């Protein structure tokens, strides 16, 4: 029986956000009489606060606008973006700080552990160095004319869309930054190699299995729990992996079909394989759009990703982010247009950092 590739790599966070926003939009629509009464009351309160009188119809239920919109920013997750799943967030309290880097050699060698009569045991060396993070500020703002809000049946739908569009733009720029880290072979130190034989060799499938086994064997580990996550481009997945005769031949059930990410990950004993599908427009402003994949390098990487990211985790990379971010702010400006308008701003302070390049492996040049 043929198996199909899953179109979107759904995440628990993305599903929670989708359910949350659906519930909010249903509430905004006033699905029953109780919700309608709450919405009318909240609607009039918002209208009075903004100096708009009565709106054309109802707005949201009795929730505080700032809290609601801030929640959208915190919960937002676009399942097409995989960057934060490869370099997960470590919350921090300071804009810059140091973290300990334990000496690798100390974990792989030790003196004689035998204790003689009336002798003291040998003392272990426990050297360490430090590295540091330093967050930068990122963000966008957007504007909504109050004349538009006054004419909307559910004006806070526009407010929600206002903030959600900012979150999408911030997530896009973050994906581009993290993709650059993951797709740069120099970030893996000596843990990289070219495919011995190209994986898109039609009859044999190249050396995909031995190359990936070598990648798995080359990963170093620490004491903190990690997941093994593979990552590659959509082009490489389609041309080199999912229809690879060696991969398909591993399972009688898919000899006539395509291998899924879960099937391949399970065979190698990994937790998952993520495919970079997200697009970006690289065309200059005012010119025709040029759409291309953010993940476009000819590579396959295997990363250790912390299951509970902290300053002591050993994994390929982290996204150090200030506690409480993203920060969402809304304010009105009466000077613009007839009624003025509402501005929304979402900002985040974070730093993407390679923590341990040898906790990952980069297979280069896999495609002809």
**In CATH, what number is assigned to the domain containing residue 239?**
3.90.1690.10
Whole-angstrom Cα distance, residue 142 to residue 343? 6
Name the token pair of 207. 């050396």
Average pLDDT over residues 271-292: 92
State the residue range of the domain holding 98: 12-107+125-364
SS3 327: strand
- Give per-residue pLDDT as tens, 48-84: 555 555 444 333 333 334 566 677 677 677 778 999 9
CB-based contact 49:65 (threshold 8 Å)? no
Residue closest to 350 by CA, chosen among 92, 112, 124, 164 = 92
147 in a structural domain: yes
Provide the pLDDT for residue 36: 60
Alpha-carbon gap, residue 358 to 87, rounded angstroms: 14
For residue 171, being part of any structural domain is answered with yes
Given the DSSP bridges, would you call strands 192-194 and 360-364 parallel, antiparallel or unpaired?
Answer: parallel
**pLDDT at 261 > cutoff 50:** yes
Mean pLDDT, the chain, whole residue set: 82
CA-based end-to-end distance of the chain: 30
What lies within 8 Å, CB to CB, of 166 at 6+ separation is 73, 139, 140, 141, 142, 344, 345, 346
Residue 134's pLDDT band (boundaries 50, 70, 90)? Answer: very high
Q: Is 64 among the domain residues?
A: yes
Q: Within a domain: residue 2?
A: no
- Up-side HSE of residue 12: CA atoms within 13 Å toward CB? 1
Task: Give a yes or no: residue 4 inside a domain.
Answer: no
- Domain for residue 300, yes or no? yes
Token pair belonging to 166: 């900012």
- Check residue 60 and give its pLDDT: 35
Say how many domains are in the chain: 1
Is residue 118 one of the residues assigned to a domain?
Answer: no
- Does any domain span residue 232? yes
8 A C-beta contact, residue 13 and residue 89: no
């Amino acid at each position: 029986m043929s198996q199909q590739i899953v179109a979107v790599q759904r995440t628990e966070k993305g599903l929670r956000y989708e359910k949350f926003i659906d519930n909010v939009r249903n509430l905004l629509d006033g699905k029953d009489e109780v919700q309608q009464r709450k919405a009318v009351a909240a609607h009039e309160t918002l209208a009075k606060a903004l100096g708009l009188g009565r709106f054309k119809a109802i707005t949201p239920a009795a929730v505080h606008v700032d809290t609601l919109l801030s929640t959208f920013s915190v919960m937002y997750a676009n399942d097409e973006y995989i960057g934060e799943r490869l370099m997960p967030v470590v919350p921090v309290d300071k804009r810059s700080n140091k973290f300990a880097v334990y000496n690798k050699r100390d974990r792989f060698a030790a003196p004689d552990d035998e204790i003689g009569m009336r002798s003291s045991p040998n003392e272990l060396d426990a050297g360490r160095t430090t590295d540091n993070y330093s967050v930068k500020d990122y963000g966008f703002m957007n504007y909504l004319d109050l004349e538009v809000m006054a004419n909307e049946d559910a004006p806070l739908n526009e407010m929600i869309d206002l903030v959600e569009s900012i979150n999408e733009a911030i997530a896009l720029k973050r994906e581009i930054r993290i993709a650059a880290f993951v797709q740069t072979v120099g970030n893996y130190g000596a843990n990289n190699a070219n495919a011995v034989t190209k994986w898109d060799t039609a009859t044999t499938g190249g050396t995909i299995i031995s190359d990936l086994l070598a990648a798995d064997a080359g990963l170093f580990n620490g004491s903190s729990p990690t997941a093994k996550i593979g990552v590659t481009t959509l082009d490489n997945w389609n041309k080199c992996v999912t229809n690879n005769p060696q991969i398909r031949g591993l399972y009688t059930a898919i000899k006539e079909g395509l291998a899924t990410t879960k099937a391949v990950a399970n065979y190698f004993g990994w937790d998952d394989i993520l495919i970079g599908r997200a697009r970006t427009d690289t065309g200059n402003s005012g010119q025709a759009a040029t759409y291309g994949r953010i993940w476009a390098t000819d590579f396959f990487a295997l990363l250790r990703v912390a299951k509970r990211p902290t300053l002591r985790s050993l994994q390929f990379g982290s996204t150090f982010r200030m506690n409480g971010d993203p920060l969402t702010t809304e304010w009105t400006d009466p000077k613009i247009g007839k009624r003025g308008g509402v501005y929304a701003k979402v900002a985040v302070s974070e730093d993407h950092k390679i923590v341990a390049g040898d906790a990952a492996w980069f297979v280069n040049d896999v495609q002809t």
